[in-house]
Amino acid sequence: MKCAGDIEVRQVDEMAINIDPIQVGGRLTADAMKAVIAYGDGYSVCDNCRKPFRLDYIKKPPIADFHAELASWLSMDACRLVPGARRGFQAVCQGLVSKGDPVILTALSHYTEFLGVESTGGLPREIQKNAENRITADAAAETIERVIREEGKTPSLLFVEGVDYQYGNHHEIKEISRVAHSYDIPVLYNGAYTVGILPVDGKALGVDFVIGSGHKSMAAPAPSGLVATTDEYAETIFATTAVKGDQTGRTFGIKEIAMMGCTLMGVTVMGMMASFPHVKERVLRWDEELAKSRIVTDALLSIEGTTILSEMPRRHTLTRIDTRASFDRVAATHKKRGFFLSSALSKMGITGVIPGATKIWKLNTYGMTMAQAEYTADAFREIATENGLSLSD
Amino acid sequence: MKCAGDIEVRQVDEMAINIDPIQVGGRLTADAMKAVIAYGDGYSVCDNCRKPFRLDYIKKPPIADFHAELASWLSMDACRLVPGARRGFQAVCQGLVSKGDPVILTALSHYTEFLGVESTGGLPREIQKNAENRITADAAAETIERVIREEGKTPSLLFVEGVDYQYGNHHEIKEISRVAHSYDIPVLYNGAYTVGILPVDGKALGVDFVIGSGHKSMAAPAPSGLVATTDEYAETIFATTAVKGDQTGRTFGIKEIAMMGCTLMGVTVMGMMASFPHVKERVLRWDEELAKSRIVTDALLSIEGTTILSEMPRRHTLTRIDTRASFDRVAATHKKRGFFLSSALSKMGITGVIPGATKIWKLNTYGMTMAQAEYTADAFREIATENGLSLSD
């Protein structure tokens, strides 16, 4: 078994139009790639680490500034980097959720949110989605009432997704926050598909925690992410160590328990930081991304039998499609069966659709050029007509 | 504030001989750098993720094989990657340490071990070091007895360092494991300075957990690390999720709670994997590393007033030096004061000593060539004589 020998160079995003639902927001910028090369070595950012010896205090490279800037960019008071959004969920749960506490999630919560709750012994309770696959404040209120009534305990935290991973739908964040706060329940905003993709203002949303993913949505290497919070909760979530060596009397200064001290050294923090100026700009061009997304979804909708399961009009580039009455009908008799679709796309230089998927699947057009959007739209239409499906306009 | 503009290219390990105690084992190999460039994008390793959708099952690139090979290389039964050794400590504590449990650490335990214990509410209890700064089985037995007597509870876990971060000393791992097991206390071996540096055989050591650091000792980008264990403990530490969405009925398959599902995507896992064939070879050349280390420590010892605080003869490349009666005496009257040492070293192309340090400090010669070791030895002697310190031979 020779691992290194088996590593093929990956050129997916250089050689093809990638529409993979989870990959497109995490492709590196050229500046991130340069930083990755310069800071590849393990503890590369620690050259100038001085008292008080914590990653987020390092001034050169300007990691301290980066932390401050992230907090203000999200309209929050404090921010820390973490190895992925999931580690942000875990950190918040560690601070707020005790064994046996009910915690509110949604019917569209990601599995990592459930694991965060499970990691500290919390009991996940879901808010149901409505017929449009959206999470509403009314449903949140009902769920909170139900949990308090049935379990005799106020939930210690409420998770809600800015945009969920299944439909790419937006939810009633502001209104849900208001409801949760009326019960004194803090709100965690899962920004895995929004922070770094579209403008996010934590204060305007009224949430207590904003979690973001570097490798999913901030053009950063994995694993990377952030957890931002308000002054009200910073001391709880970023509590510093209080233990002492009983024989040596050692204490450990300002190291934060839930962060496990220093978090993202080297390549991850530097990649995230180098992409950040570009990320700040790209969120302001969100309308252009939506326009490109609509070019592709319009093409898909024009294929007979195809429906979009996400909310319409699209307000995100991640979209859930139902092609059971179109491409899957083709698959039933095609000699390549379900693989005909990914195979045909692949021949046209489009990748990221799970091979074999022709029923319900997802795509994400984020970061395409306008020409690529039009090409992708044409490709879907062409594959449809080649396989005997008719097009409307 | 322009983050990206402020990032200077880092060339420390290309342009100088680095003797930084924490950095030298984590410098990338050329193969790791190639992998980092190819897999820089966030979710780059997920192209071929198929059921059951978990990182350590991915076959292309061969991440599944890599996990199996790591376990067998350490003579353990199962292995997972984690974002740094510290996340391995946290995962083991999550599985074994409940609030109020006493946990045994040592007087030489790293702060991240304490944070791991603190993160689940455990109570750290230290084994004292002996006069030679070593942790012995006798001291471990005394500590266990004392804790059981005073707290009326058997400790739920014992941490011990293969080689500690302060002195670079070896400790009585096998004997301590035997003692701990006689009380049914599982043993966690902190291999942050050994796994990837020198041969480690978990079975021969008799430990239940082996934790390694990718960015400290396996020529990998940060944050990366591993936790390996036996069949006896794998089910506890790598327990899969058992929660269920109460409204949707969703369950989350084989995602592991303490791992938070998938762990190291992209650049971290691929860098670690690409370096691994080289890492396996380099641990077999450990004697050569010790020979180079001794060339440098002999030179330091030849400077009047200098002593080595680590065990002698050196059995690790990380060494703690006391130059209070040599270089610090120079600093008292030197116009650059304490900075004269790092400054003189820097002029000679040697980096990694904290600027201003002339009292008690550490260096690590790992990975030098023989010529660099001799050059570094000469440099220390030259700085000494230039500043009026005499040399013995």
Q: Judge if the upstream peptide bond of residue B221 is cis by omega within 30 degrees of 0.
A: no
Distance in Å, alpha carbon of A152 to nearest chain B alpha carbon: 17
Q: Could A257 and B61 be called an inter-chain contact, meaning their C-beta atoms sit closer than 8 Å? A: no
Q: Could B69 and A116 be called an inter-chain contact, meaning their C-beta atoms sit closer than 8 Å? A: no
Share of chain A residues as helix, strand and coil, in percent rounded to the nearest 5: 40, 15, 45
Report the distance separating Cα B143 and Cα B46, nearest Å.
47
pLDDT at B1 > cutoff 70: no
Q: Could A246 and B215 be called an inter-chain contact, meaning their C-beta atoms sit closer than 8 Å? A: no
Contacts 24+ apart (CB under 8 A), A177-180: A177/A205, A177/A206, A177/A207, A178/A137, A178/A206, A179/A137, A179/A140, A179/A141, A179/A144, A180/A104, A180/A140, A180/A144
Q: Could A257 and B118 be called an inter-chain contact, meaning their C-beta atoms sit closer than 8 Å? A: yes
> B215 a known binding residue?
yes
In this prediction, residue B9 has a pLDDT band, given cuts at 50, 70 and 90, of: confident
Q: Which two tokens stand for residue A108?
A: 């569209």
pLDDT at A260 > cutoff 70: yes
**Predicted ipTM beyond 0.90:** yes
Give the sign of the dihedral formed by CA A108, CA A118, CA A263, CA A96: positive
* Residue of chain B whose Cα is closest to the Cα of A271: B40
* Residue of chain B whose Cα is closest to the Cα of A353: B47
- Note the pLDDT tens digit of each residue in B92-133: 999 999 999 999 999 999 999 999 999 999 999 999 999 999
The number of helix segments (H) and strand segments (E) in chain B equals 15, 12
Report the distance separating Cα A389 and Cα B207, nearest Å.
63
- Note the pLDDT tens digit of each residue in B308-334: 999 999 999 999 999 999 999 999 999
Report the distance separating Cα B64 and Cα B269, nearest Å.
11
Which of B7, B31, B221 is closest, CB to CB, to A267?
B221
Helix (H, G, I), strand (E, B) or coil at A22: coil
CA distances from A54 to A46, A60, A80, A240, A366 (A): 9, 13, 11, 12, 35
CA angle A156, A115, B88 (to 5 degrees): 115
pLDDT at A3 > cutoff 60: no
Chain A residues in contact with B69 by the CB 8 A cut-off are 1, 3
CA angle A242, A245, A249 (to 5 degrees): 95
Inter-residue contact B113 to B136 (CB < 8 Å): no
pLDDT at B262 > cutoff 50: yes
In this prediction, residue A1 has a pLDDT band, given cuts at 50, 70 and 90, of: very low
**What pLDDT does residue B241 have?**
98
Chain A residues in contact with B34 by the CB 8 A cut-off are 9
Distance in Å, alpha carbon of A121 to nearest chain B alpha carbon: 10
Q: Which is nearest to B31 in space by CA: B212, B282, B262?
A: B282
- Note the pLDDT tens digit of each residue in A265-281: 999 999 999 999 999 99
The number of helix segments (H) and strand segments (E) in chain A equals 16, 12
- Note the pLDDT tens digit of each residue in A145-173: 999 999 999 999 999 999 999 999 999 99
Q: Which two tokens stand for residue B375?
A: 């050059």
Report the distance separating Cα B370 and Cα B290, nearest Å.
11
Which of A222, A243, A263 is closest, CB to CB, to B268?
A222
Residues of chain A with CATH 3.90.1150.10: 3-22+285-386
> How many Å separate Cα A252 from the centre of its chain?
33
Q: Judge if the upstream peptide bond of residue A83 is cis by omega within 30 degrees of 0.
A: no
Q: What average pLDDT does chain B have?
A: 96
φ, ψ of residue A161 to 5 degrees: the values are -95, 130
pLDDT at A289 > cutoff 90: yes
In this prediction, residue A9 has a pLDDT band, given cuts at 50, 70 and 90, of: confident
Residues of chain A with CATH 3.40.640.10: 39-283
* Residue of chain B whose Cα is closest to the Cα of A215: B42
In the block, residue with structure tokens 């970061």: A367
Topology (CATH) of B4-22+286-386: Aspartate Aminotransferase, domain 1 (3.90.1150)
Inter-residue contact B270 to B38 (CB < 8 Å): yes
**What pLDDT does residue B351 have?**
97
pLDDT at B4 > cutoff 70: no
Q: Could A42 and B25 be called an inter-chain contact, meaning their C-beta atoms sit closer than 8 Å? A: yes
In this prediction, residue A7 has a pLDDT band, given cuts at 50, 70 and 90, of: confident
> A86 a known binding residue?
yes
pLDDT at B6 > cutoff 80: no
- Note the pLDDT tens digit of each residue in B76-87: 999 999 999 999
Helix (H, G, I), strand (E, B) or coil at B80: strand
Report the distance separating Cα A362 and Cα A302, nearest Å.
17
Residues of chain B with CATH 3.90.1150.10: 4-22+286-386
Inter-residue contact B273 to B34 (CB < 8 Å): no
DSSP track, A64-76: HHHHHHHHHHTT-
Chain B residues in contact with A83 by the CB 8 A cut-off are 83-84, 87, 223
Which of A8, A61, A266 is closest, CB to CB, to B221?
A266
Give the sign of the dihedral formed by CA B268, CA B270, CA B275, CA B279: positive
φ, ψ of residue A104 to 5 degrees: the values are -90, 130
- Note the pLDDT tens digit of each residue in A170-195: 999 999 999 999 999 999 999 999 99
CB contacts < 8 A, A to B, total 324
Distance in Å, alpha carbon of A102 to nearest chain B alpha carbon: 11
pLDDT at A318 > cutoff 60: yes
In the block, residue with structure tokens 């369950």: B251
Which of B10, B125, B264 is closest, CB to CB, to A223?
B264
Report the distance separating Cα A56 and Cα A166, nearest Å.
34
pLDDT at B167 > cutoff 60: yes
- Note the pLDDT tens digit of each residue in B25-64: 999 999 999 999 999 999 999 999 999 999 999 999 999 9
Share of chain B residues as helix, strand and coil, in percent rounded to the nearest 5: 40, 15, 45
Q: Could A42 and B219 be called an inter-chain contact, meaning their C-beta atoms sit closer than 8 Å? A: yes
Chain B residues in contact with A249 by the CB 8 A cut-off are none
Q: Could B223 and A264 be called an inter-chain contact, meaning their C-beta atoms sit closer than 8 Å? A: yes
Q: Which two tokens stand for residue B131?
A: 């006069």
pLDDT at B203 > cutoff 60: yes
Q: How many other C-beta atoms are found inside a 10 Å radius of the C-beta of residue B300? A: 22
Higher pLDDT, A215 or A6: A215
Interface test with B, best of A6, A14, A247 (most B CBs within 10 A): A247
In CATH, which of 3.40.640.10, 3.40.50.10490, 1.10.10.10, 3.30.70.980 is domain A39-283?
3.40.640.10
**What pLDDT does residue A173 have?**
98
> B48 a known binding residue?
no
CATH of domain A3-22+285-386: 3.90.1150.10
* Residue of chain B whose Cα is closest to the Cα of A93: B119
> How many Å separate Cα B253 from the centre of its chain?
32
In the block, residue with structure tokens 């944070």: B115
Task: Kindly state the percentage of chain B with pLDDT values over 70.
Answer: 98
**Beta strand ranges found along A172-241 (DSSP E):** 187-190, 209-213, 225-229
> B181 a known binding residue?
no
**What pLDDT does residue B2 have?**
46
pLDDT at A102 > cutoff 80: yes
**What pLDDT does residue B393 have?**
72
Distance in Å, alpha carbon of A270 to nearest chain B alpha carbon: 8
Distance in Å, alpha carbon of A383 to nearest chain B alpha carbon: 23
> What value does the mean pLDDT take over residues B139-162?
98
Interface test with B, best of A23, A58, A67, A111 (most B CBs within 10 A): A111
CA distances from B196 to B12, B70, B216, B223, B272 (A): 22, 11, 9, 15, 10
Q: What average pLDDT does chain A have?
A: 96
